[in-house]
Chain A
């Protein structure tokens, strides 16, 4: 019974002693700088500092969540096509309808209009640089004639997003995943569902340890697909010395030595 009380008292004393030792150490030298004094003060307010640091993460999450909300009203009122088109333009992407060559994108002020022109199925979507993630993809699920999807440089596209791309498995022909920092091999394995894929761009993926090997495996997995953006030697360990060529072999065998 007494032992834990003593232990508790000692723990408190030790904690106090840490602060006291620091102060004692400081007292022996010059007066501490403003920065050090501030740190010591903050030491008393750990949970407040932690909440403050979480604010930045919270704000980023809020922005991403806002960009990926489901436009339920538009979908219900105007239909899935208009809903998808509206969403793409709202997050500053661009798209092209099937059978037309005009690309719809928001202008520099963020305004867009597409309702006046005739519209059909969306065929090509360019979402480069947007904050789309798994939840935002819910707005586009209805587009079953989507042929090209570009996700170049999207920071929120990760393996779970790639796993959800199976909704386009009957139509997707081109996929651009360059510079998506969170994509790994585990997500690329999920692309096995996209049997119609003909072109896949996987350049600039920092989390792939052996891009060359991944390219070979992807080409094996999707035989009709051309994987671009990666050289076959990338990520492989290069041999340190050059292998002797046939000429060298012959010369060594005949007893001549290269200088």
Chain B
């Protein structure tokens, strides 16, 4: 405005150097009042931004930080972690009474065992606790929409195939299978034993040479989509108010007390005060103060346990016993066989260790095998070893199902088992050296099928201070300290 007044005075105008204007448009002919109004409008826009209610903030807040204080921090956002979060929220007495935070390292779940799993569920175990866990989980999956349905969302569809598991036993292991059969029937699983002739009549595409006995699951066994289950748990837990945080747990802040063990030596008894959660691609971390921490980190649980000094003490003492969970790589191969068995293919598990299940209706199958202890593949990456299929898996597959002599491997992937090197069974409960960390890991390939029941068990431990539905004290860490393994004889 002043510039215009300035320019109207001839004396001032003359002082402007004569030059051509480079603008193609004329100067706008707004009068004074319009210009004042323009300026008022600009001022109002700026003022609205400064008022409370706008999203401008003088502080630069990192998005996605976890809350500073929480009641339960669950390390690991796989199916077990989210199941625990859901059950804790379901069992809390007042709505919003507990603040639960689930910390997951990788938002894409690229290396998570849950989504890389074949998705099978079976009750054919040798331990009563495993059978009960699996039965309860099947019961949960049967009524999944009663448990995990969220208002206005689509119902959960797990694409459950009820084809059952078929275990084959050779002469050597037939007696083990019979003992397991009676345990399974006693615990409530619906299983039937088949002789080789019955097997041949039932599954004519199978070569029954070398098979002494087979056991087939009739009900509550089959496979489903693990990603659907994970998302169902996650969606329901988020709708109940669980906080989700993407970050990595890099350490803990804990207080230490010296405790005397029965044998007379002293160990450090730790109580976690804070969990340090580091943001992805950043050095920034947020310490989350919490009274209870749950370790459901799957293959990385050993690393988390080591951050608390478990296993780093002198070898003879309790604190020298390392947490026995480590990642083990397993391969799954998708094969296409046009002449293969049809809709009646169960989840076949041969006594040589090879397993096979149908995938879809187009003649595709998923096959794999557990390698020998001495030939464990390298765990630094998830690269697939195709030689393993050619040399080990195919030979056994073709022997058992002759149609598989002609097949084509369409694709393959690798995933980690959270392998319990001690006895291949889950580890649930508190550690004697840490006051407030609950473990729910070490399932060695069965985490997915036991996750709903395990989630409930841990929620009962935390909130009811003891197991209420299934007594899983046999899976406590005490057995590791006392060196008394409870072996599961039906590990795949």
- The verdict on B53 contacting chain A, using a C-beta distance below 8 Å, is yes
From B53, B159, B163, B361, contact of A190 by CB (8 A): B163
**A188 at interface, CB cutoff 8 A:** yes
Stretch at the interface among B70-78, B218-226, B251-259, B329-337: B218-226
Majority secondary structure, A binding face = helix
Do A163 and B220 touch (CB < 8 A)?
yes
Is B468 an interface residue, CB under 8 A from the partner? no
Contact indicator B55/A190 (Cβ below 8 Å): no
Residues in A whose Cβ lies below 8 Å from that of B219:
163-164, 166
A3 touches B59 (CB 8 A): yes
Task: Report if A192-B95 is in contact (Cβ < 8 Å); known contacts: A4-B68, A6-B59.
Answer: no
Query: In terms of DSSP, what is the predominant structure of the interface of chain B?
Result: loop
A96: shortest Cβ distance to chain B, in Å?
A: 27
Chain A residue at smallest Cβ distance from B145: A57
Q: Could you tell me if B361 and A159 are in contact, using CB atoms closer than 8 angstroms?
A: no
User: In the complex the two chains form, is B343's CB within 8 Å of A50's CB?
Assistant: no
Contacts of B59 in A (CB 8 A): 3, 6
- Do A185 and B53 have beta carbons less than 8 Å apart? no
Q: Are B343 and A192 in contact (CB under 8 A)?
A: yes
Give the most central of B159, B160, B162, B361: most A CB within 10 Å: B162
Complex interface: stretch among A11-19, A145-153, A240-248: A11-19
Whether B361 and A185, one on each chain, are in contact in the complex, defined by CB atoms closer than 8 angstroms, is yes
The answer to whether A217 and B361 touch across the interface, beta carbons within 8 angstroms, is yes
Interface of chain A residues 160 through 218 with chain B (CB within 8 A): 160, 162-164, 166, 184-190, 192-193, 195, 210, 213-214, 217-218
Q: Does B67 contact A (CB under 8 A)?
A: yes
Q: Does A91 contact B (CB under 8 A)?
A: no
Q: Which of A7, A47, A53, A190 has the most CB of B within 10 A?
A: A190
Residues of B within 8 A of A10 (CB): 52, 55, 57
Q: Does A48 reach chain B (CB closer than 8 Å)? A: no
A217's nearest neighbour on chain B, judged by CB, is: B343
Total CB contacts across the A-B interface at under 8 A: 80
Contacts of A134 in B (CB 8 A): 142
What does the 1/0 interface line of A23-57 toward B look like (CB < 8 Å)? 00000000000000000000000010010011000
Closest to B95 in A: A47
Q: How far is the CB of A67 from chain B (nearest CB, A)?
A: 16
Which of A6, A184, A220 sits near B343, CB closer than 8 Å? Answer: A220
Is B160's CB under 8 angstroms from A186's CB? yes
Partner of A162, one of B52, B95, B162, B220: B162
In this complex, how many residues of chain A approach chain B with their Cβ under 8 Å: the count is 40
Could you tell me if B163 and A217 are in contact, using CB atoms closer than 8 angstroms?
no
Q: Which residues of the partner chain A approach B163 to less than 8 Å between Cβ atoms?
A: 186, 189-190, 192
Q: A3-B61, A193-B218 are in contact. Are A186 and B344 (CB under 8 A)?
A: no
Instruction: Select A4's contact among B52, B55, B67, B342, beta carbons within 8 Å.
Output: B67
- Kindly state whether residue B190 has any CB partner on chain A within 8 Å: yes
A250 interface residue (CB < 8 Å to B)? no
Q: Which residues of chain B from 129 to 188 have any CB-CB distance to chain A below 8 Å in the complex? A: 142, 146, 151, 159-164
Q: Which residue in A13, A164, A210, A213 is a CB contact (below 8 Å) of B52?
A: A13
Q: CA of A61 to CA of B151 in the docked complex: distance in angstroms?
A: 16
- Kindly identify, within residues 42 to 56 of chain B, every residue whose CB is under 8 Å from any CB belonging to chain A: 52-55
In the complex, B202 has a CB within 8 A of chain A:
yes
Q: Which of A6, A160, A195 contacts B57 (CB 8 A)?
A: A6
| A221, B95: Cα distance in complex, Å | 50
Look across to chain A and name the residue whose beta carbon is closest to the beta carbon of B190.
Answer: A166
In the complex, per-residue mask of A47-75: 1 if CB is within 8 Å of any chain B CB, else 0: 10010011000000100000000000000
Looking at the assembled complex, report how far the CB atom of A235 sits from the nearest CB atom of chain B, in whole angstroms: 11
Question: How far does the Cβ of A230 sit from chain B's closest Cβ, in whole Å?
Answer: 14
C-alpha spacing A75/B14, complex, angstroms: 115
Q: Contact: A220 with B53, CB < 8 Å?
A: no
Question: Could you tell me if A221 and B218 are in contact, using CB atoms closer than 8 angstroms?
Answer: no
Bound CA span A61–B145, Å = 11
A54 CB contacts on chain B under 8 angstroms: 151
Q: Are A20 and B53 in contact (CB under 8 A)?
A: yes
Write the chain A residue with the least CB distance to B159: A186
Cβ contacts under 8 Å, A20 to chain B: 53
A184 to B158, CA, bound (A): 11
Contacts of B53 in A (CB 8 A): 13-14, 16-17, 20
Q: In the complex, how many angstroms separate the beta carbon of A200 from the nearest chain B beta carbon?
A: 12
User: Contact mask B58-93 → A, CB, 8 Å, 1/0?
Assistant: 010100000110000000000000000000000000
**Most central of B159, B161, B190 by chain A CB within 10 Å:** B161
- Let me know if B61 and A188 touch, CB within 8 A: no
Distance of A13 Cα from B142 Cα, bound (Å): 43
Q: Separation in Å of the A144 CB from the closest CB of chain B?
A: 15
Distance to closest chain B CB from A188 (angstroms) = 7
Distance (whole angstroms) from the CB of A21 to the closest CB of chain B = 8
Given contacts A4-B67, A16-B53, contact A53 B162 (CB under 8 A): no
Listed residue (A1, A10, A20, A213) with the most chain B CB atoms within 10 angstroms of its CB: A10
Which B residues, 206 to 238, have Cβ-Cβ distances below 8 Å to chain A? 218-220, 222
- With A185-B361, A190-B163 as given contacts, are A221 and B202 in contact (CB-CB < 8 Å)? no
Cβ-defined contact, A186 with B361, below 8 A: no
Could you tell me the distance between the alpha carbons of A7 and B164 in the complex, rounded to whole angstroms?
Answer: 52
A162 to chain B minimum Cβ distance, whole angstroms, is 7
Interface residues of A (CB under 8 A from B): 1, 3-4, 6-7, 10, 13-14, 16-17, 20, 47, 50, 53-54, 61, 134, 159-160, 162-164, 166, 184-190, 192-193, 195, 210, 213-214, 217-218, 220-221
Beyond the given pairs A163-B162, A186-B162, 11 more chain A to chain B contacts, judged by CB atoms under 8 angstroms and listed by A's residue number, are: A3-B59, A50-B151, A163-B219, A164-B219, A166-B219, A184-B159, A186-B163, A188-B343, A189-B222, A190-B222, A214-B343
21 pairs from A and B in contact (CB 8 Å cutoff): A3-B61, A4-B67, A4-B68, A10-B52, A14-B53, A17-B54, A134-B142, A163-B220, A164-B219, A184-B159, A186-B160, A186-B222, A188-B343, A189-B163, A189-B222, A189-B343, A190-B162, A190-B222, A192-B344, A214-B361, A220-B342
